[in-house]
């Protein structure tokens, strides 16, 4: 496939599980890999909720992609946002802070992932951030800790109440983990930190339009997770569809058509995903189908119809109901690398992509999780130990594993949380909290010209 | 001093060394302490440069003030920016996201610290951020790593050069530590991370208008620090006064009146301090003098003339040439607490505040530092071990000490840096880098309404 003047060029879009693992799988092959990603870090997304709730630092779940791939000589990392893919010309156009570059490929692996979906109500995003990026997690960290800070100063009981009511939308693994962690934070970590409010009285509400918690884990584990959450003080409300979100509350509709409003300043959206818009572009050019989440219908071997040189892996694909989990992306990335290797060697291609379900798990609190491995289901402490082991192994880079284990010891065995810093850059947190009512006058976000005053004053 | 209906009320402004240590020193006294601070964390400022260069996470140098004081029952922490002090009414007015609160005091401890000073050229701040807050450090982290990312993509050699030229203004401890760390980052940590550029060719320039490096350490140690920096590849230019700073460069004037321009995108300002503007307000009301750095001339016992109930500690004071270092703030805070204790007990007040110089130190690179303890001067590895021990002991909270030690092992013994994450919120970094020239079109910073698209795409 390569032309005589250069090695086979593989371009990988995305530094998530699919992009990183396909690149690493090509480390011994006679190819030149260019990995183009919008952030300079790989993100261990399953632990984002721990950054949001002050347990881990950003660096612990987001190692530098460049550092991870430093010793892989045939890989080059480029920071940039892909703005176009041209299937005819076989080029990828990407932009880095205004600079536009066009990179040609012989084989393309698209692993651009998925973002949060608000099901057509994008205006909700401002008041209920998603949980997809480090920025999201730091934003939520600012809102969660900021709500307690403001509640400590609130004078009216109604104001205290809405500041101490946290709503998590979506009872999948991310929503369950967030609700559980906010409950632990309020009822345990912050127990002694305030003088006016009692954080133990905080309300944590987990909403879902579906009738079950952790639907994909089956009825039995979902029921256990629900009971455990309720024991921790989380109010679980199912069959509750969100119809409106504003600065100080959220409105839900029940199956019988009744609506009610929950007064809450800090809302978290963990309810839906929408594949990268690059999927739509690929579909347009190739004629492949697109499902309602924007995921592209790929062939059995993860290639685009009519374009065997283009693989799509991870959250962007719609294939035999594969779930949007890390393992699908990792295995897909490795499968694509193996196919490229066989093509270059001229050997028989692998058969259709077969996903090996290694199981799924979700933590509910420290020492308690649910896990489903094949037909075996675990819950409680055993599931939690399993969760701990699996997550430690997958966190990339030995050094992160050790510091992470330490931060976990602090959080699970002790009461503290080491990573509670909120910077002034969490302007959205301030805006959301400022929108509390008339008494809260808008406080303008810092503008660049203001930076001279930055450090003057207490701190 | 207290009235019958309440315990003696001490209000402390600032959660830096002065504010935190005075509060802790009052833990066994019959007083009610309210600590008002603009950030929810204490900041271990001497290690900010390590956050800026990717060694430590924010949480490791900035523990939650609330968590540090959680078990101190007589202390209350309030997040807020002090907007006014009324010496007549004995009240402090503070604002939290638009909410205004007035807090009365019987004794006031003002420990609001100092910010960066640009000597009347506040417009420089945008292009050469200071090193005073976590935001500053994360901003600089974004600029430093971002410069290498862009250099990897640059097409013109002049562009590569200015992206790979780092200028640190100010050869005091902070400037020396920053220059040393950027040199280690470029020459060691990033050695294998890029494919187009060679980070080892990066230029690091340390400028100062004064004729010496580390002036306060004396000629001998300053000379050693200079030689060590030069050995590491840092260009030290003394007697060079900065006269202009713009997006792509910095202009310096030499003692003979000649000027020259250094092309550089990433500049760091570590050159001057300016005390909190609260000092000017205290001076106006009490008639106390103010020096040109905005520091207030306090009496021998750290109180304001005519106001024995108001103590000023730390970087805000001008008294017998005391330096602006952590130990002056710590000892001042403890002294104020002791005076309050004696007054309440009706015993003899302590004599004038005596600063015990425990020495000063600055790291130059891993395994190399300079330290001055009384008349004894150390440099090299012994000074570095001293630095390590002292900083480990002073970092507040056991858990931070352990994870910090680990992150240090990674950085000093290995080659990696665990904390390299740059978020999208480092908009200033993007703006500064975008201003590189005509080819770099402005890329609008994300606005709140955009957040719905946040996670879509690669990453």
Instruction: State the nearest Cα–Cα gap between B127 and chain A, in angstroms.
Output: 10
Q: What is the pLDDT of residue B20?
A: 95
A428 and B414 within 8 Å at the Cβ level: the answer is no
In this predicted structure, the answer to whether residue B452 has a pLDDT above a threshold of 70 is: no
Instruction: Tell how strand A107-110 and strand A307-312 pair up.
Output: parallel
- CA-closest candidate to residue B235, choices B310, B299, B168: B168
- CATH number for the domain harbouring residue B309: 3.50.50.60
Task: For residues B199 and B355, give the distance between their C-alpha atoms in angstroms, rounded to a whole number.
Answer: 44
In this predicted structure, the answer to whether residue B438 has a pLDDT above a threshold of 50 is: no
Q: What is the per-residue pLDDT across A35-54, written as a single tens digit (0 to 9) for each?
A: 999 988 999 888 899 899 98
In this predicted structure, the answer to whether residue A123 has a pLDDT above a threshold of 60 is: yes
Q: Which of B60, B139, B159, B177 is catalytic?
A: B177
In this predicted structure, the answer to whether residue B261 has a pLDDT above a threshold of 80 is: yes
Q: Domain check: are A238 and A211 in the same one?
A: yes
Report if residue B452 sits inside a domain.
no
Report if residue A42 sits inside a domain.
yes
Confidence of residue B397 (pLDDT cuts 50, 70, 90): low
Residue in chain A closest to B121 (alpha carbons) equals A452
Q: How many domains does chain A have?
A: 2
Task: For residues A458 and B295, give the distance between their C-alpha atoms in angstroms, rounded to a whole number.
Answer: 14
Q: What is the per-residue pLDDT across A160-212, written as a single tens digit (0 to 9) for each?
A: 999 999 999 999 999 999 999 999 999 988 988 999 999 999 999 999 999 99
Q: What is the pLDDT of residue B208?
A: 96
Cβ–Cβ contacts within 10 Å for residue B157, how many?
8
Report if residue B371 sits inside a domain.
yes
Task: For residues B252 and B259, give the distance between their C-alpha atoms in angstroms, rounded to a whole number.
Answer: 5
Q: What is the pLDDT of residue A96?
A: 82
* Chain mean pLDDT for chain B: 86
Q: What is the pLDDT of residue A399?
A: 53
Q: Which two tokens stand for residue A95?
A: 């932009």
Cα angle: B155, vertex B159, B161; to 5 degrees: 115
Q: What is the pLDDT of residue B284?
A: 94
Confidence of residue B316 (pLDDT cuts 50, 70, 90): very high
Tell me the chain A residues in contact with residue B316 when contact means C-beta distances shorter than 8 Å.
none
- CATH number for the domain harbouring residue B405: 3.50.50.100
**From the centroid of its chain, how far is CA B93?**
25
Report if residue A191 sits inside a domain.
yes
In this predicted structure, the answer to whether residue A445 has a pLDDT above a threshold of 50 is: no
In this predicted structure, the answer to whether residue B337 has a pLDDT above a threshold of 50 is: yes
Report if residue A441 sits inside a domain.
no
A97 and B125 within 8 Å at the Cβ level: the answer is no
- CB-based contact B53:B182 (threshold 8 Å): yes
Tell me the chain B residues in contact with residue A418 when contact means C-beta distances shorter than 8 Å.
59-60, 63, 399-400, 403
Q: What is the pLDDT of residue B341?
A: 97
In this predicted structure, the answer to whether residue B97 has a pLDDT above a threshold of 90 is: no
Q: What is the per-residue pLDDT across A295-335, written as a single tens digit (0 to 9) for each?
A: 999 999 999 999 999 999 999 999 998 988 889 999 999 99
- CB-based contact B152:B196 (threshold 8 Å): yes
Q: Domain check: are A59 and A163 in the same one?
A: no
Confidence of residue A245 (pLDDT cuts 50, 70, 90): very high
Q: What is the pLDDT of residue A454?
A: 34
DSSP E strands, B350-435: 360-365, 368-373, 376-380
- CA-closest candidate to residue A206, choices A247, A171, A162: A171
Q: What is the pLDDT of residue B367?
A: 85
A420 and B59 within 8 Å at the Cβ level: the answer is yes
A274 and B126 within 8 Å at the Cβ level: the answer is no
Q: In chain A, pLDDT over 70 holds for what percent of residues?
A: 85
Q: What is the pLDDT of residue B396?
A: 55
Confidence of residue B321 (pLDDT cuts 50, 70, 90): confident
Task: For residues B207 and B235, give the distance between their C-alpha atoms in angstroms, rounded to a whole number.
Answer: 8
Residue in chain A closest to B65 (alpha carbons) equals A193
Residue B431 has phi, psi (to 5 degrees) of -60, -45
Interface mutation target, options B333, B400, B456, chain A, most CBs of A under 10 Å: B456
Instruction: State the nearest Cα–Cα gap between B220 and chain A, in angstroms.
Output: 32
Q: What is the pLDDT of residue A5?
A: 78
Q: Domain check: are A111 and A227 in the same one?
A: no
Q: Domain check: are A106 and A153 in the same one?
A: no
Q: Domain check: are A214 and A137 in the same one?
A: yes
In this predicted structure, the answer to whether residue A441 has a pLDDT above a threshold of 50 is: no
Please tell me which of A83-92, A429-438, B38-47, B90-99 the model is most confident about, judged by mean pLDDT: A83-92
- CA-closest candidate to residue A429, choices A273, A270, A267: A267
Interface mutation target, options B23, B84, B96, B97, chain A, most CBs of A under 10 Å: B97
Q: Domain check: are A261 and A213 in the same one?
A: yes
Q: Which of A60, A139, A159, A177 is catalytic?
A: A177
Task: State the number of CA atoms in the 13 A half-sphere of B414 facing the CB.
Answer: 16
Region of B81 on the Ramachandran plot (φ > 0 left; ψ -120 to 50 alpha; else beta): beta
Interface mutation target, options A313, A421, A442, A454, chain B, most CBs of B under 10 Å: A421
Q: Domain check: are A59 and A208 in the same one?
A: no
Annotate A126-150 with b (16+ C-beta within 10 A) or e (fewer).
bbbbbbbbbbbbbbbbbbbbbbbbb
Scanning B26-156, the segments in alpha helix (DSSP H) are 48-52, 58-61, 65-68, 134-153
In this predicted structure, the answer to whether residue B21 has a pLDDT above a threshold of 90 is: yes
Does residue A95 have an active-site annotation? Answer: no
Residue in chain A closest to B190 (alpha carbons) equals A67
Compute the average pLDDT of residues B231-246.
Answer: 95
End position of a domain, from candidates B345, B379, B401: B345
Least trusted range by pLDDT, from A120-124, A426-430, B377-381: A426-430
Q: Domain check: are A384 and A336 in the same one?
A: no
Report if residue B102 sits inside a domain.
yes
Task: For residues B12 and B35, give the distance between their C-alpha atoms in angstroms, rounded to a whole number.
Answer: 5
Report if residue A206 sits inside a domain.
yes
Q: What is the pLDDT of residue A146?
A: 87
Complex ipTM: 0.86
Task: For residues A83 and A75, give the distance between their C-alpha atoms in angstroms, rounded to a whole number.
Answer: 21
Least trusted range by pLDDT, from B343-347, B391-395, B400-404: B400-404
B454's CB contacts (< 8 A; 6+ apart) are: A115, A116, A125, A129, A130, A132, A133, A135, A136, B446
Compute the average pLDDT of residues A123-130.
Answer: 90
A376's CB contacts (< 8 A; 6+ apart) are: none
Tell me the chain A residues in contact with residue B268 when contact means C-beta distances shorter than 8 Å.
none
Report if residue B285 sits inside a domain.
yes
Annotate B187-212 with b (16+ C-beta within 10 A) or e (fewer).
bbbbeebbbebebeebbbbbbbbbeb
B81 and A457 within 8 Å at the Cβ level: the answer is yes
Confidence of residue A431 (pLDDT cuts 50, 70, 90): very low
Q: Domain check: are A171 and A243 in the same one?
A: yes
Domain containing B201 equals 122-271+359-412
**From the centroid of its chain, how far is CA A385?**
22
- CA-closest candidate to residue B454, choices A211, A351, A129, A234: A129
B125 and A58 within 8 Å at the Cβ level: the answer is no
DSSP-assigned beta bridge partners for residue B206: B168, B236
Compute the average pLDDT of residues B348-370.
Answer: 90
Q: What is the per-residue pLDDT across A379-428, written as a single tens digit (0 to 9) for each?
A: 999 988 888 888 777 765 545 566 666 666 666 666 566 676 666 554 43
Q: Domain check: are B143 and B242 in the same one?
A: yes
Q: Domain check: are B230 and B265 in the same one?
A: yes
Of B62, B64, B145, the CB nearest to A40: B145
Tell me the chain A residues in contact with residue B136 when contact means C-beta distances shorter than 8 Å.
454-455
Q: Domain check: are A129 and A266 in the same one?
A: yes
In this predicted structure, the answer to whether residue A157 has a pLDDT above a threshold of 70 is: yes
- CA-closest candidate to residue A9, choices A33, A27, A36, A37: A33
Q: Which two tokens stand for residue A296?
A: 């592209």
Task: For residues A129 and A124, give the distance between their C-alpha atoms in angstroms, rounded to a whole number.
Answer: 8
Task: For residues B128 and B250, give the distance between their C-alpha atoms in angstroms, rounded to a whole number.
Answer: 9
A60 and B57 within 8 Å at the Cβ level: the answer is yes
A78 and B194 within 8 Å at the Cβ level: the answer is no
B60 and A57 within 8 Å at the Cβ level: the answer is yes
* Chain mean pLDDT for chain A: 86
Confidence of residue A97 (pLDDT cuts 50, 70, 90): confident
DSSP state at residue A50: H
Model's pTM, two decimal places? 0.88
End position of a domain, from candidates B376, B396, B412: B412
Q: B432 or B12: whose pLDDT is higher?
A: B12
DSSP E strands, B225-283: 234-238, 241-246, 249-253, 259-263, 266-269, 273-275
Q: What is the pLDDT of residue B437?
A: 35
Rounded alpha-carbon distances, angstroms, from residue A138 to A421, A427, B4, B452 = 9, 11, 46, 16
End position of a domain, from candidates B294, B322, B345: B345
């Amino acid at each position: 496939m390569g032309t005589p003047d250069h090695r086979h060029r593989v371009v990988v879009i995305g530094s998530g599980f699919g992009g990183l693992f396909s690149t690493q799988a090509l480390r011994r092959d006679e190819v030149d890999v260019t990995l183009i990603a919008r952030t300079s870090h790989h993100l261990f997304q399953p632990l984002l909720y721990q950054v949001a709730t002050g347990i881990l630092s950003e660096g612990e779940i987001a190692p530098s992609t460049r550092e991870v791939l430093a010793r892989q000589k045939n890989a080059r990392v480029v920071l940039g946002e892909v703005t176009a893919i041209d299937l005819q010309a076989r080029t990828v156009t990407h932009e880095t802070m205004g600079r536009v570059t066009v990179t040609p490929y012989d084989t393309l692996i698209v692993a651009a992932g998925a973002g949060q979906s608000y099901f057509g109500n994008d205006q909700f995003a401002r008041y209920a951030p998603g949980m997809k990026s480090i920025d999201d997690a730091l934003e939520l960290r600012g809102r969660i800790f900021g709500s307690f800070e403001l509640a400590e100063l609130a004078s009216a009981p109604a104001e205290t109440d809405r500041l101490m009511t946290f709503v998590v939308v979506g009872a999948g693994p991310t929503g369950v983990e967030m609700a559980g962690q906010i409950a632990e934070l309020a009822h345990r970590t912050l127990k002694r930190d305030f003088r006016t409010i009692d954080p133990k009285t905080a309300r944590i509400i987990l909403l879902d339009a579906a009738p079950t918690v952790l639907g994909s884990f089956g009825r039995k584990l979902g029921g256990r997770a629900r009971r455990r959450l309720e024991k921790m003080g989380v109010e679980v409300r199912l069959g509750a569809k969100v119809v409106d979100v504003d600065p100080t509350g959220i409105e839900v509709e029940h199956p019988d058509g009744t609506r009610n409003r929950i007064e809450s300043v800090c809302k978290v959206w963990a309810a839906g995903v929408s594949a990268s818009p690059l999927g739509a572009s690929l579909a347009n050019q190739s004629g492949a189908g697109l499902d309602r989440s924007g995921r592209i219908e790929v062939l059995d071997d993860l290639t685009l119809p009519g374009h065997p040189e283009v693989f799509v892996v991870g959250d962007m694909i719609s294939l035999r109901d594969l779930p949007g989990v890390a393992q699908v992306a990792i295995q897909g990335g490795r499968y694509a690398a193996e196919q490229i290797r066989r093509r270059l060697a001229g050997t028989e291609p692998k058969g259709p992509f077969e996903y090996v379900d290694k199981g799924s798990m979700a933590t509910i609190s420290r020492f308690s999780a649910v896990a489903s491995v094949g037909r075996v289901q675990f819950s409680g402490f055993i599931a939690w130990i399993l969760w701990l082991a699996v997550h430690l192994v997958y966190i990339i880079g030995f050094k992160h594993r050790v510091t992470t284990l330490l931060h976990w010891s602090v959080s699970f065995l002790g009461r503290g949380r080491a990573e509670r810093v909120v910077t002034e850059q969490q302007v959205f947190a301030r805006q959301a909290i400022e929108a509390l009512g008339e008494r809260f006058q808008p406080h303008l976000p810092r503008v660049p010209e203001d930076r001279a005053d930055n450090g003057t004053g207490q701190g």
